[in-house]
């Protein structure tokens, strides 16, 4: 997700990742990605 966000912004993905690491928000971003995948699996199973 971070890689695609960087590409959309025209930024270097490695620099983008380092920025998030320095800001201390990388764990929150990883958790949100996991939550998104989990909720997608839970709520799209019946369709």
Classified as helix, coil or strand, 12 is coil
pLDDT value for 46: 63
What pLDDT, in 10s, does the model give residues 4-47?
Answer: 888 888 999 999 899 999 999 989 988 998 999 899 989 887 65
Is the pTM higher than 0.75? The answer reads no
- Give CA–CA dist 30/25, Å, rounded: 9
Domain boundaries, given as residue ranges, for the chain: 2-44
């Amino acid at each position: 997700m971070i890689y695609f966000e960087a590409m959309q912004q025209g930024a270097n993905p490695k620099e983008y990742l380092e920025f998030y690491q320095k800001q201390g928000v990388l764990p929150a971003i990883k958790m949100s990605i996991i939550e998104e995948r989990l909720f997608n699996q839970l709520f799209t199973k019946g369709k």
